Structure formats: structure tokens, C-alpha cells
Structure 1
Amino acid sequence: MLRVSNMTCARGGIPVLSDISFDVPAGQALILRGPNGIGKTTLLRTLAGLQPALAGEVEHPADEAAYASHADGIKTALSVTENLTFWADVYGQPVPDDIWDTFDLADLRERIAGTLSAGQKRRLGLARLGVIGRKVLFLDEPTVSLDGFSVRLFADWLQNKHLASGGVAVIATHIDLGVTAPELDLTPFKSAPEAGGATDEAFL
């Protein structure tokens, strides 16, 4: 489902990670580990096609990838229902009937998103992943602002809905999500300080 071959990715035109290769088969997640600043976000953005790689290849099904950062990505003037309906319409998907209970949003359907707590906004942001129908997910610290109960809700959806239906996820996180998945420590792939790079990077 996802294959990365000999990838070098850069931040601001300077290489940060070099010669990364891995496969993630359908139905499996991969957890990215490493200290702050190692390049987890840069790698995810490169895998998602939001910025170019300096070298290497990424292969995954066309039009099946989605990237979610630690920003919630919600429209604060719309209600919870309107937010999910908007994203479902953009991707030509129905809003699943079970999405409300899956992300503990049933009692918040008519609430204006801008009035939600940080954790509630985060659950709404993650619920978007359940309505867009994309098979390959690149997730950057998806559980920020979530309490333990909400982390378990997300992990349950990821393991038993997304992955169980043949999806793939690459996740940068510092916590134990409770998801059965191999881990990739990025520390050995840190680029050498003298590594050269382009200075005309257009995607920052």
C-alpha cells in the first residue's frame, strides 16, 4: 500500500533525513519515533506530497492519501454537524452513522465548533478522518490535547475501523497509542551537518 525508497527530505532546503526506506502494507500502521526536531513532521509532509523530496520515491495509491497535522483544521463558525458534512461533501462521502459515537460527539452535534474545548475540537478534527474515505493517512501528533479516554477512542477507530478495512497510517507521536504497530526510530537517518541541499524549496 505504501512504499518509501531511499528518500531524503529537507526543511528550508537543508536535508534533515537521508536514505529512508520502508514499506507499510495494507492494514498496518507505522509509528515514527525520534527527538523533537529530528524531522518527523518534515517526513510526513514529504510523504503526503506537500513538499518535494530531495531524493527517493514514494509510492501509494493515487488520490488515497490525507495529511493531518496537530492543528485541528476545523471551521469555528460552523456547528459540529456542519463541519463533518462539509468535509464529507468535499470528498464525495456520506457522514457515517457511527461517527458521532466513535469520537464521542453525539451530544455536541449542534454546538458551534468555536465554543468547544481543546479536546472536543481535537476529537472533531480527528472525526474528519472518518468521513473523507482516504486509505493512506499521515498523522502528526494526532492525540495532542486529548485525555486518556479520547486517546483510546481514536486508537480504537484507527485499529478496528481504518486499519481493519485495509487502510494504512504513518503516525508521529511521543505517546503509546495502544495500537499494534511497528516503530521506526528516525535518529539513524539524521542527515550529516555538511549535507548539501537546494535553497529554492517552494513548499515550506
Structure 2
Amino acid sequence: MKTKITFILVLVISILSVNAQYEYDSSVENPYGKLNPNAPKQTSDYAPMIGLCDCKSQARKQDGNWSKPVDMTWKFKYIMNGMAVQDETLKKDGRHTGSIRQFSKDSSRWYVHYYTSNKIPAKLSVWEGNKIENGNIVLYKDQKAPNGTEGDYRLTFYNISDKGFDWIGEWIDKSRNVIFPTWKISCIKRE
């Protein structure tokens, strides 16, 4: 009898310590996880977006016009016990994407690793950047234009609030004089 009680106590203590170890992961009470107080403070840059949003996504067509808006959901959640952010989009057109967002204290920059169901890469694309003074989150990745001109692809989250946000993807030249938007998304927070 004593052995059974000891076993049960050890089991209960083990379960409680594992739960405490991952107290910021998603749970029934917190389906999108929680920000870990030990995470870099910049991890809260995405706090207004944590949850589920209903969005409209539009891409630039080959003829230069914008496509019809595509319905999508965009879900943001804390991962790695509240130390990073992951997002996932589910689009009505069947193209789904996601990112893992980590802030590096060493470089004082966000690193965003992007993946898609449309084209499985051998290596994930990486954008890097920061939240800037006006509250926008701006990320860059080196990318040539179709004609070979050196430039970057810039992603900007703006109009960020607890009610939603807007997002735009733009190709820009290295001098920052030529800006060509190719993708835009508008989101309203559902939960």
C-alpha cells in the first residue's frame, strides 16, 4: 500500500512540474498561449495580433491589377513556452502559409522564418526587422526584381490595434525610391 501511495505522489509531482515548465504554452484556458515574462520584451510587439482574425488577401496579378479579395483566417499564438510567436494563414484559395517569429537579443532584431503549402522549400525564407517608432512592424528580405534589379521585399504590419491590423508586401529598390506593392491583407480580430 505504501508503495502505491509513493508511486501516485511521484506521478502527481511529475505531472505538476511538467505543467509548470510549460505554463505559457497553449491550453484550454489560453488557446493562443501566453507571453512568457522571461521572453525578450519585444515579443509583445505581436500581442495585439495574438488570436484569430478574419482577413481579405489580395495579390497583384501579372497585368498589374489587383486580384479579387480572397477570404482567409490568420491565427497568431505564442509558442516555445511563450518565448516566440507563430502564425498561420488558411486561405479559401487553398494557399496556406505560416511563420515562426523570434526576437534576438543579440542583434536586437526580429527573425521571421516563412513557410507555405504552395511550394515546399529546402530552406525557409527569412525576413528580419523591427517595430519602428510609429508602431508598425517592418521586415526585409533581400530579393531581386524580375528584371534583375537589386532590392528587398518589405513586409509591413500597420494600423495595429486590438481590433485588427493591415499588412502589405512590397518590392523596393535599394535606394528606397521605387516601391511596388504586390500583396495586401486587411484583418479584423475575431477572438
**Structure in which a larger fraction of residues adopt strand:** 2
Name the structure, 1 or 2, with higher relative contact order (CA <8 Å, separation 6+).
Answer: 1
Q: Which has the larger radius of gyration?
A: 2
The reply to whether TM is greater than 0.5 is: no
The TM-score with structure 2 as length reference comes to: 0.25
